[in-house]
Amino acid sequence: MSTSAETSGPSAAGKAGASGAIKRPDERPAIHTIRQLWPYIWPADRPDLRARVVGALVVLVIAKLITVMVPFFYKWATNALSGNPAAGAAATGTAALLTVPIMLVVAYGGGRIMLNVFNQLRDALFARVSEHAIRQLGHRAFVHMHRLSLRFHLQRHTGGLSRTMDHGMKGVDAIVDHIILNTAPTLLEFVLAAIVIAWQFNLTYLGVIVATIVAYVWFTIVASNWRIALRRTMNASDTEANSKAVDSLLNYETVKYFGNEDMESARYDVSLARYEAASVKTWTSLAWLNIGQTVIFTTGMTVCMVLSAVAILNGTQSLGDFVMINALLIQLSFPLNFIGTIYRELKQGLADVEAMFDLLEVPEEVQDKPGAPALAVSEGTVRFEDVTFHYDVERPILKGVSFTVPAGQTVAIVGPSGAGKSTISRLLFRFYDVTGGRITIDGTDIRDVTQKSVRAAIGMVPQDTVLFNDTIAYNIRYGRPGASEEEVREAARMAQIAGFIETLPKGYDTEVGERGLKLSGGEKQRIAIARTILKAPPILVLDEATSALDTHTEREIQGALDRVSKGRTTLVIAHRLSTVVNADEIIVLEGGRIVERGRHEALIREDGLYASMWNRQREAAEAAERLRQVEESDTLGIVVRGPRPAPEVVS
C-alpha cells in the first residue's frame, strides 16, 4: 500500500516548495474554488466540450461497472475449473465442461482489457476539456496582469507572479485529474462494490470493508498532514540552497574578485545539510505511512478472507466466492494506494488555483471609462493643468504642475533626484491617473479616452532599455509588429545602428540575449530609438535616454535623438543638462513644483537652481576631461621610457 508517487531531489522539492508557499490567511472552502473553476470545465460557449464532459462521465460509469463485473468472471471461472456446478454452466458433456471454463477465463481477460480501454478513453475525452480550461484561465490571468497598474507590479516580484500563474494552471490539472478522474470514480467504485458485497455476501463483510476503508482514509489523511509539514520544511531548505547557488553563480566575478569560493561553498553546504536532514525525515515518514496503510488494509482483507474460508468449510460458499472477495478487495486497493498522493496534491491544487483566482480578483487601478472613444491626435499639443499626484497620501509627489508642450516643439523637464520628473512621463502614459488637475492631448483629457489609444500616440525612449530575448529585427519591429523588413532596416539606418547590425554574422537575426545583455548600452539605446522611429508617434518622450551612457556614446545617441524628435511634440526628461540646451523651453522641478522655466541662456542668466546644476555638471565634466588627459599623458610617458622608444611617439 504505497502513496509513494513521490519525487525526490532538490529540483522537485523546489517546485513543490514554491507552490506550497501560496497561502491565504482566510482560506475559502474548497467548494468555493471549485465553483469558480466550473465555468472553465463546463464552458457555456463550447457545446462540443460539454459533450465531451458528458461522454467522459458515461465512459467513467461504464468502466466502473466493468470493474465490479470482472470479479464475477473470476468467480465463475474458478468454480467452473473446480468442477463446481455453481459455475452457472448447465450444459453437460466433456466439450461443454471444457468450453465453459475457457470462455469464462477469456471473459475475465476481456473484462480487464475493456476496463483499461474505457479508463483510457475517459482520459482521452477529458484531455481537451482540461487543457482548454488551463488555456482559458492562463490567458485570462496573463491579460489581467497586463491590465493591472504599474504600482501593482512594482510592489511584487515578477517571478512570484509567474509562479502563481504556472502553479495555478497546474492546479487546474490537479483538480480535474484528482476530483473528476480519480476521486469521483473511486467513490462510485466503492458504492458499487458495497452493493455487490451486500448482495453476494452479507452485511458482516460490508461492515468489515467499510471499517477498513474508514480507518485507512483517516490514517492516511492524518499522516499526510504530518508529512505536508515535513515537506514544507524540506522545500524551504531546498529553496534556500537553490537561491544561494543561483546568487553565487550570478555573482561569479565578484566571488572571484574576493577569492571567496570556500566561503560560498560552505554557505551552500549548510543549506544542503538542512535539506538532507529534512529529506531523510520526509522519506522516513513515507515509510511509516506505507507501513500503517499496509497493516490496516491487510488486516481488513484477512478478516474477510477468513470469513469466506469458514463459509467454504461450512458449505455456504464456493471457492469462487473466496477468489471473488479477494479480487474485489485487491481492486479497491489500487485507488486506495494513491489516496495520500491525491489528498496532498488536491489540497495543493486547490491552494494554487485559489491563489490564481485571488490574482484575478485584484482590481484594475487605471480603467477606461465605459464607452470611452479612441484619442484622435490632430496636432499633438500636450498640456498639464494644475496636476497633483501622490503614490502615498502622506507623501505628495507633484504639487500643482502646469505647463504646455506645443505641437512640434521640445520641452525639457530637469531637476534634482526625487523632484518628480519620471512621474510626469508615467502620468502621461496613464500608468497612473492624476489625483488632481488634468492632462490633455489636443484639449482632450486622457482619462476620457482609451488607454491603448493614448499609448499608441506616444513613443518612449527610456533610460534603461530592456530588450526581449529575441532577434534584433524582432526588437525593432516591436514598435510596429506589422512593419516590413525594409521598414525595419530604414528605422535602423535612421537610428544609426544599421552599420553595426550589418557587421554581425547573423545581421538582423542576431539574438540579443536576456534583457539585451549581449549588446552594449549605446547599441541597446539605438535599437530603442529605431523601435520608436518605426512606431512613428506624433508625441515623443525621452526619459533620461542618455544618462546611463558615457560622454562619447551620449553625443552619438543625442544626434540620433535630435533627428527623431524633429517635427514631433517632444518631452525630454533629463539628468544631463548638456542634452537639453537646445530645447524650446526648460522646466525646472524641485520638490514637485516648477521653480524655474525658460530657455537655456535665460536660465543661466537667472543664476538660480538651473545655473547651479549646470555649473556643477560642467565642473564635473571638466574634472573628468583633465583626468583623462593626465591618464593619456602617463600612458605616453610609459611608452617613451620603454626600452625601445618609437621615434614617432617621441617627436
Q: What is the mean pLDDT of residues 70-99?
A: 58
Taking the CB of residue 206, how many other CB atoms lie within 10 A of it? 18
DSSP secondary structure letter of residue 515: G
Q: Are 385 and 57 in contact (CB under 8 A)?
A: no
CATH number of 10-20+27-360: 1.20.1560.10
pLDDT of 642 over the 50 cut: no
DSSP secondary structure letter of residue 642: S
Write down the residue that cell numbers 524641485 correspond to: 590
Q: What is the mean pLDDT of residues 50-77?
A: 78
Q: What is the mean pLDDT of residues 387-408?
A: 87
- DSSP letters, 301-325, are HHHHHHHHHHHHHTTSS-HHHHHHH
User: Per residue in 112-148, pLDDT tens?
Assistant: 787 778 777 877 777 777 777 777 777 777 777 767 7
Q: What is the pLDDT of residue 153?
A: 62
Distance CA 470, CA 516 (A): 9
pLDDT bin (cut points 50, 70, 90) of residue 221 is confident
pLDDT of 21 over the 90 cut: no
Distance CA 376, CA 368 (A): 16
Identify the CATH class of 468-536.
alpha beta
Say which residue, 259 or 406, is predicted with more confidence. Answer: 406
Q: Are 340 and 3 in contact (CB under 8 A)?
A: yes
Distance CA 235, CA 279 (A): 9
DSSP secondary structure letter of residue 572: E
Q: What is the mean pLDDT of residues 100-111?
A: 67
pLDDT bin (cut points 50, 70, 90) of residue 437 is very high
**SS3 label, residue 416:** coil
Q: What is the mean pLDDT of residues 320-346?
A: 79
User: In the chain, where are the structural domains located?
Assistant: 10-20+27-360, 376-457+539-620, 468-536
Q: What is the pLDDT of residue 12?
A: 35
pLDDT bin (cut points 50, 70, 90) of residue 383 is very high
Distance CA 552, CA 620 (A): 15
Say which residue, 642 or 335, is predicted with more confidence. Answer: 335
Residue 398: beta bridge partners? Answer: 389
The strand pair at 458-461 and 539-543 is best described as: parallel
Considering only 159-163, 338-342, 482-486, 577-581, which range has the smallest mean pLDDT? 159-163
pLDDT bin (cut points 50, 70, 90) of residue 3 is very low
> Do 376-457+539-620 and 468-536 share a fold?
yes
- What Rg, from alpha-carbon coordinates, does the chain have? 37
Q: What is the pLDDT of residue 186?
A: 76
Q: Are 283 and 210 in contact (CB under 8 A)?
A: no
Distance CA 15, CA 239 (A): 9
pLDDT of 484 over the 80 cut: yes
pLDDT bin (cut points 50, 70, 90) of residue 441 is very high
* Cβ burial, residue 586 (10 Å; 0-12/13-18/19+): buried
Q: What is the pLDDT of residue 545?
A: 66
- The cell for 296 is 490496516
User: Per residue in 259-291, pLDDT tens?
Assistant: 888 888 888 888 888 888 888 888 888 888 888
Considering only 248-262, 298-312, 380-394, which range has the smallest mean pLDDT? 248-262
pLDDT of 15 over the 90 cut: no
Distance CA 168, CA 137 (A): 9
**What is the enclosing helix (H) or strand (E) of 82?**
none
The share of the chain scoring above pLDDT 70, in percent, equals 80
DSSP secondary structure letter of residue 447: G
Q: What are phi and psi of 336, to 5 degrees?
A: -65, -30
Name the range with the highest mean pLDDT among 9-18, 74-83, 191-200, 408-417: 408-417
pLDDT bin (cut points 50, 70, 90) of residue 28 is low
Q: What is the pLDDT of residue 628?
A: 66
How far out from the chain centre does Cα 243 lie? 18
Amino acid, single-letter form, for residue 238: D
Q: What is the pLDDT of residue 382?
A: 93
Distances (CA, A) of 120 to 116, 127, 336: 6, 10, 19
Considering only 11-20, 159-168, 229-238, 453-462, which range has the smallest mean pLDDT? 11-20
Yes or no: domain 376-457+539-620 corresponds to CATH 3.40.50.300: yes
- The chain-wide mean pLDDT, for the chain, equals 77
Q: What is the pLDDT of residue 549?
A: 59
Q: Are 439 and 382 in contact (CB under 8 A)?
A: yes
Distance CA 492, CA 596 (A): 37
Q: What is the pLDDT of residue 95?
A: 44
pLDDT of 162 over the 80 cut: no
pLDDT of 20 over the 50 cut: no
Q: Are 525 and 412 in contact (CB under 8 A)?
A: no
